[in-house]
Amino acid sequence: MLENNQEITLQWFPGHMAKTRRLITANCKLVDIVVEVVDARIPRSSRNPELLHLIDGKPFLTLFNKSDMADGGVTDRWISHYKKQGITALKIDCKSGNGVGAILPAIRTKLKDKMERMAAKGAKGMPIRVMVVGIPNVGKSSVINRLSGGKRAKVEDRPGVTRGKQWITLPGGIELLDTPGVLWPKFEDQNVGKKLAFTGAIRDQIMDVEWLAMKLLEFLAENYPQAVQSRYKVDVTAYEDSFTALEAIGRARGMLVPGGQVDTLRAATMLLDEFRGGKLGRLSLERPEDFNEPV
Ligand code: G4P
């Protein structure tokens, strides 16, 4: 049995964070709009609230990516939660491409007034420049690939663009920075670390897999017991602790070691893999009602 109070202590190095901050701030000056990508299963934990400060009032929109893996009703509630605060948010899925077609029109709508003002001043036909940002693993590269149709970036230097940066030309006068801005996750809250680990955003090598699986089972027992029942024929709410529930799942899958005990490490790895692979269904780990705060 494992200690129940393990902590996820992954830290980003302060030097790395400072460099990232500088990069985002510098690149932000080159673009008209910032497109933030979050994981639809954990819209709060997969975003860094510092982004709003870094982009300093620049228009932005948020993409709820991986919506194919999230609970659709919950994602819709998140999107209306954002809309109520005047923030454009779109539900997308880069795996199938669902929703991706709405991104460029949403960017144009967001910048319509600015473009009209510029056209009135004689600056008609100026491209709209866009930068994609987000924490690791949310699907930033997938968004860029989807928008550009996998097209290689066109080499085109512009004033103020550091060497190596390239703009991809998209339909309708939009230019996309070919490298995304990488934000760091916000680790102040242990729950954030846990949810990032459940979704696989943090590598398993740095934490105890059995502990993580037990925590996931506790979440599932409270929120989606039916998903565990359907997949493993185990009533996860019937056990007094999550380790025993993990054993039951391992036993149901025949994961026994000589002597008849359950190989809980194997069961834990399998549970996490199956959860991340969407085998337990479309599940959301965060709901807007859980957070009594604005975006
Ligand atoms: P990043 O640039 O933000 O770090 O993320 P990236 O696009 O590399 O995507 C991270 C992982 O998430 C990739 O899987 C990618 O295929 C997957 N992914 C991206 N968007 C979606 C989506 O909308 N739905 C689903 N289900 N998955 C998505 P991977 O296992 O790391 O690589 P691979 O499977 O593509 O080889």
* Secondary element (H or E) of residue 35: strand 33-39
Among 20, 93, 142, the mutation site with the greatest number of ligand 1 atoms within 8 A of its Cβ is 142
Per-residue pLDDT at 2 exceeds 50? no
Give the tens place of pLDDT for each residue, 222-248. 999 999 999 999 999 999 999 999 999
Lookup: tokens for 251 = 């036993």
Give the tens place of pLDDT for each residue, 52-93. 999 999 999 999 999 999 999 999 999 999 999 999 999 999
- Let me know how many helices (H) and strands (E) the chain has, helices first: 10, 7
Tell me, using a 6 A CB cutoff, whether residue 134 lines ligand 1.
yes
Tell me, using a 6 A CB cutoff, whether residue 46 lines ligand 1.
no
Confidence of residue 276 (pLDDT cuts 50, 70, 90): very high
Per-residue pLDDT at 116 exceeds 50? yes
The mean pLDDT value of the chain amounts to: 89
* Secondary element (H or E) of residue 34: strand 33-39
Tell me, using a 6 A CB cutoff, whether residue 200 lines ligand 1.
no
DSSP 289: G
CB 206 within 8 A of CB 10: yes
112 Cα: distance to centroid of ligand 1 (angstroms): 31
Please report how the helices 242-252 and 209-223 are oriented relative to each other, as an axis angle in degrees rounded to 10: 100
Tell me, using a 6 A CB cutoff, whether residue 141 lines ligand 1.
yes
Overall average pLDDT of the 260-284 stretch: 97
Residue 139 pLDDT:
96
